[in-house]
C-alpha cells in the first residue's frame, strides 16, 4: 500500500492555454481584494474619516511597494547566479529569452513586507495620517489575503516541503529526484511503498508546506488577529506588532518542514534564510510594540461616533486641527 499522495494531475498553473494568465497572478488579485474589502469594512464600521480615494491611493502605493520589494529581494538576495546584479534591468523584465511573456517569476515575502511598509510610510506621511492606525487596519486583513498567495504556490507546484514518510506526504512533479545510492532515500522509499530497484534516482514524498503556510500563516493568524486581538487592541500599532511577531514565530517553525532555498541552503548552522529573516521580523515586532505604546494617544482617524459621544474631545480636536 502506498503511504503518500500524488500531486493532483488535473491542476495546471495556466488558466487559459496559450495566454499569459496564471492562477498564481490571479491569487494575488484575490489576496489584494480580500485585504481591501476587510479594510473598507473596518473603516465603515468604525466610521473612520478616510475617503474612498485615500483608500484606493493607499492600496496603490502599498501594493506597488510590495511588488517592487518582493521582486528585488527575490532576485538580488535569493538568486545566487549573479545574473540580476550584472543585468538589473531583467528584474522587472516579464519576457524570457524567446520573448515569451512569463511574468515576474519569483517573489519574496520578506522583501514584499519591506516594500509594502515603505510604500505605506511614504503615503501616510504625505497625507499626514497615522501610520500605526492605518497599519493596524491593513494587518487585520492581510493574513486572510495571504492565504491565496500560498495556494497559488501550491497550484504552481513550487515551494514544496522537505522529504517525509508521513501518510499525507505528497510527490511534487517538479521536485528534484534523489539518488537511490543513499541509504536514507532507499529507507524512505520502502516506508512509503515506492519502488526504486533499477532506478538511479526517484522522487520522494514531501511535506505540502504551502498548505501548512496557507492555513497557519493565513487563516489561523487572521482568526487570532481579527477575532481576538482586534477587539482588545490597547493602542494603535498593537495589531501591527502582533502580526509581525505572530507571523515570524509561525513561519520560523514551518520552515522546518519546508525545503530550504536550493541556491542558499542553510545559512547559519541549520537555520534557513527564511528563519533568520523571521527572527529579525519578531525583533521588529517587539520594538514596534514598545514604540507604539510610547506614542499612544489620539490619532487623526478617530471615529465620528466617538466624536459625537465626546463633544468636548471634538472641540479640542478642532482646535488642534486649526493650529
Residue pLDDT, tens place only, 107-165: 889 999 999 999 999 999 999 999 999 999 999 999 999 999 999 999 988 889 999 99
What is the predicted pLDDT for the residue at 89? 87
What is the predicted pLDDT for the residue at 229? 96
Residue 57 pLDDT greater than 50, yes or no:
yes
- Percentage of the chain exceeding pLDDT 70: 88
Least confident interval from 162-166, 230-234, 273-277, 313-317: 313-317
Distance CA 94, CA 287 (A): 38
Between 199 and 98, residue with greater pLDDT: 199
Least confident interval from 23-37, 85-99, 201-215, 297-311: 297-311
What is the predicted pLDDT for the residue at 244? 98
pLDDT band at 304 (very low <50, low <70, confident <90, very high): very low
Q: What is the pTM of this model?
A: 0.86
Give every CB contact of residue 191 below 8 A, 6+ residues apart in sequence.
Answer: 3, 165
Residue 305 pLDDT greater than 50, yes or no:
no
What is the predicted pLDDT for the residue at 25? 83
Structure confidence by residue, pLDDT tens digits, 175-209: 999 999 999 999 999 999 999 999 999 999 999 99
Radius of gyration of the chain from its Cα atoms, rounded to whole angstroms: 23
Between 12 and 236, residue with greater pLDDT: 236
Residue 323 pLDDT greater than 90, yes or no:
no
Cα–Cα nearest to 239, from 139, 161, 320, 315: 139
Whether the CB-CB separation of 124 and 131 falls below 8 Å is answered with yes
Distance CA 78, CA 272 (A): 11
What is the predicted pLDDT for the residue at 103? 66
Whether the CB-CB separation of 257 and 212 falls below 8 Å is answered with yes
What is the predicted pLDDT for the residue at 296? 78
- Percentage of the chain exceeding pLDDT 90: 62
- For every residue of 261-312, DSSP letters joined together read PTTT-EEETTEEHHHHHHHHHHHHHHHHHHHHHHT-S--TT--HHHHHH-HH
**Torsion angles phi and psi, residue 58, rounded to 5:** -60, -45
Residue 104 pLDDT greater than 80, yes or no:
no
Cα–Cα nearest to 212, from 247, 176, 251: 251
pLDDT band at 82 (very low <50, low <70, confident <90, very high): confident
pLDDT band at 1 (very low <50, low <70, confident <90, very high): low
Residue 312 pLDDT greater than 70, yes or no:
no
Distance CA 171, CA 202 (A): 10
Mean pLDDT, the chain, whole residue set: 87
What is the predicted pLDDT for the residue at 297? 53
Give every CB contact of residue 321 below 8 A, 6+ residues apart in sequence.
Answer: none
10 Å Cβ neighbour count for 90?
12
Q: Which three cell numbers stand for residue 75?
A: 532576485
Residue 294 pLDDT greater than 60, yes or no:
yes
Distance CA 62, CA 141 (A): 14
10 Å Cβ neighbour count for 167?
12
What is the predicted pLDDT for the residue at 90? 84
Distance CA 51, CA 43 (A): 9
What is the predicted pLDDT for the residue at 269? 78
Amino acid at each position: 500500500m502506498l503511504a503518500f499522495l500524488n500531486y493532483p494531475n488535473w491542476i495546471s498553473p495556466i488558466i487559459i492555454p496559450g495566454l499569459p494568465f496564471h492562477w498564481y497572478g490571479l491569487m494575488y488579485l484575490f489576496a489584494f481584494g480580500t485585504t481591501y474589502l476587510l479594510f473598507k469594512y473596518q473603516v465603515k464600521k468604525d466610521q473612520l474619516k478616510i475617503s474612498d480615494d485615500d483608500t484606493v491611493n493607499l492600496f496603490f502605493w502599498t501594493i506597488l511597494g510590495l511588488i517592487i520589494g518582493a521582486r528585488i529581494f527575490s532576485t538580488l538576495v535569493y538568486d545566487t547566479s549573479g545574473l540580476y546584479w550584472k543585468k538589473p534591468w531583467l528584474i522587472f523584465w516579464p519576457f524570457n529569452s524567446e520573448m515569451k511573456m512569463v511574468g515576474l517569476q519569483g517573489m519574496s515575502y520578506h522583501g514584499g513586507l519591506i516594500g509594502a511598509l515603505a510604500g505605506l510610510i511614504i503615503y501616510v506621511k504625505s497625507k499626514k495620517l497615522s501610520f500605526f492606525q492605518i497599519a493596524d487596519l491593513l494587518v487585520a486583513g492581510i493574513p486572510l489575503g495571504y492565504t491565496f498567495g500560498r495556494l497559488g504556490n501550491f497550484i504552481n507546484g513550487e515551494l514544496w516541503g522537505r522529504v517525509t514518510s508521513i501518510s499525507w506526504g505528497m510527490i511534487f512533479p517538479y521536485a528534484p529526484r534523489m539518488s537511490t545510492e543513499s541509504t536514507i532515500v532507499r529507507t524512505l522509499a520502502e516506508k512509503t511503498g515506492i519502488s526504486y530497484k533499477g532506478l538511479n534516482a526517484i522522487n520522494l514524498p514531501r511535506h505540502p508546506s504551502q498548505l501548512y503556510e496557507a492555513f497557519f500563516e493565513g487563516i489561523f493568524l487572521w482568526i487570532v488577529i481579527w477575532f481576538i486581538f482586534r477587539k482588545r487592541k490597547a493602542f494603535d500599532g498593537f495589531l501591527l506588532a502582533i502580526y509581525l511577531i505572530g507571523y515570524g514565530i509561525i513561519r520560523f517553525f514551518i520552515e522546518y518542514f519546508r525545503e530550504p532555498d536550493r541556491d542558499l541552503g542553510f545559512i547559519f548552522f541549520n537555520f534557513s534564510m527564511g528563519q533568520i529573516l523571521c527572527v529579525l521580523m519578531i525583533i521588529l515586532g517587539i520594538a514596534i510594540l514598545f514604540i507604539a505604546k510610547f506614542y499612544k494617544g489620539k490619532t487623526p482617524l478617530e471615529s465620528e461616533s466617538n466624536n459625537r459621544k465626546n463633544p468636548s474631545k471634538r472641540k479640542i480636536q478642532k482646535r488642534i486641527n486649526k493650529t
